[in-house]
Structure 1
Amino acid sequence: MAVLNVRVDDHVRDQLKEMADAEGVTLSEYVRDLLLAAVMPVYAADVKHGDEPAPESMRTIDRRVLSLLHRILARVLPDDANDVDGDLEYQLERAKILEEGFAGEYWLEVAGLRTELSKRDCGRVSDILEMFRIITFSIDHLKENSTPVDEKLAFQLEFRGFDHNDALEGHMATYVEYQMRDDRWSELKPQVKRNDRGNSHARMLDTYMRMLGEYRRIMDSRQRGFDRFDYLLAFDELRQIADARVHPSNRPQR
């Protein structure tokens, strides 16, 4: 075990000794525990997407506002309230935690709140849906013009949703559901329904991003057209996007 020598003023040493005596341990044991607490927290779980960490502190004004909201809700809840809002006693207890400043209990204020799905990730979802929308229209157009896409290729180019067991992709799946409310992205709803209501049961984001990269490359290489069908993809272009599903390291050498 390493030995660490630390020089402190006499009055600091005396204060540490008094604190160690109060805890019933030696001065060395007390200082060692302080150092361990500083560099090796007892519990420091990795924060993953989906976990909203509890605030370590709150501004006084925020505590006051939240405590007042809890007290107001406590007074307006029906006598037989027993749902997610709890009852009068539950709300008053939440107000007390905030008013007393019990920081260790602040997690109750964020319980049930999900980590934000960033603007970047929301944009990714929208771009992925738009790509599959164009793919779907393109496949339908080829079929109408007597050049149908074979079932295997069509299956490879189908939107399968996101993995509900992955925190980030599960959040993206929720955003897809939100995006598809009413009649938005209606052309993709049958695909979502066929694929367990948008649960891919396997992580798909990396695959979609490779496909999206190829889709963007194809679109960027085109000159601007004026025909209403100019945005559609040709058979060879659909094949290129489907091939992009496979990671480059796993693609056969040509």
Structure 2
Amino acid sequence: MPNSNIKITDIERLNLINQFLILEKLYPEEADYYEKNRIALEQGYKAHYRTIFEHLWEEMPEEKTREVLDILEMHRAITWSLTDLSKDNKKKSNYVFRGFDGNEESEQLSYCHYFIVNLERYQELVENKEYPDFNSHCEMLPKYRRMLKVWKELKEEYDFRLTVDQIDRIWSA
């Protein structure tokens, strides 16, 4: 929230002041931090409100989260299909979810990490990683969007699992 003009009502200020008072007591080792924020709010130092909210990230639009979920769902379908279709793990290793670029696709990367690690969903995409970071170190969204287009077309054709040919079509998009 670095460049936003923060506007809070007196009631919101009072609630935050009370929260900071509670936090000062609950966490004495961090009491100085909470006290400084409380004083800024009590005395109306608007220039310092930004520091209170500096740890808040910008909201991620729902369309972006939906796109990440579609990408994860597509990779899940590929993973499950390969597990059922192939005993040749060499073939499977070519189709691993690579994640998103940490520099150019950081919102998607963060949401992906939250969804898989924090919410413990789609664990089959982790693939024996002790700490999955999902950083592909290269942009993946253009590739994933092409793959999604093919997958969505095929989704209407296939029953439950994808064939190897369908997976190859998706992956080579």
Which of the five TM-score ranges fits, normalised by the shorter chain?
0.7 to 0.9
* Residue type at the aligned position of 2:133: R
1:196 CA drift (Å)? 6.4
Pick closer, same or farther for the CA change 1:77–1:243 going to 2, 3 Å: closer
Provide the residue aligned with 2:165 in structure 1: 236
Is residue 165 from structure 1 mapped to residue 119 from structure 2 by the alignment?
A: no
Deviations 1:17-43 (A, max 9, x none): xxxxxxxxxxxxxxxxxxxxxxxxxxx
Conserved? CA contact 1:131–1:215, under 8 Å: yes
**d(CA) in 1 for partners of 2:51 and 2:6?**
12
Unaligned runs of 5+ in 2: none
Identity percentage of aligned residues: 30
Provide the residue aligned with 2:14 in structure 1: 64
Conserved? CA contact 2:126–2:132, under 8 Å: no
Provide the residue aligned with 1:209 in structure 2: 145
* Residue type at the aligned position of 2:96: E
Is residue 117 from structure 1 mapped to residue 117 from structure 2 by the alignment?
A: no
Q: TM-score, normalised by structure 1?
A: 0.58
Pick closer, same or farther for the CA change 1:138–1:54 going to 2, 3 Å: same
1:149 CA drift (Å)? 8.6
**d(CA) in 2 for partners of 1:183 and 1:69?**
30
Pick closer, same or farther for the CA change 1:69–1:194 going to 2, 3 Å: closer
Pick closer, same or farther for the CA change 1:213–1:149 going to 2, 3 Å: farther
**d(CA) in 2 for partners of 1:195 and 1:219?**
31
Pick closer, same or farther for the CA change 1:170–1:185 going to 2, 3 Å: same
Provide the residue aligned with 2:34 in structure 1: 91
Secondary structure of the residue aligned to 1:96 is: helix
Is residue 189 from structure 1 mapped to residue 126 from structure 2 by the alignment?
A: yes
Pick closer, same or farther for the CA change 1:76–1:197 going to 2, 3 Å: closer
**d(CA) in 1 for partners of 2:89 and 2:168?**
10
Secondary structure of the residue aligned to 1:184 is: coil
1:150 CA drift (Å)? 6.7
Which entry has the higher C-alpha Rg, 1 or 2?
1
For these two proteins, the number of residue pairs brought into alignment is: 172
1:72 CA drift (Å)? 2.6
- Two-structure CA RMSD over aligned residues (Å): 2.8
* Residue type at the aligned position of 1:68: N
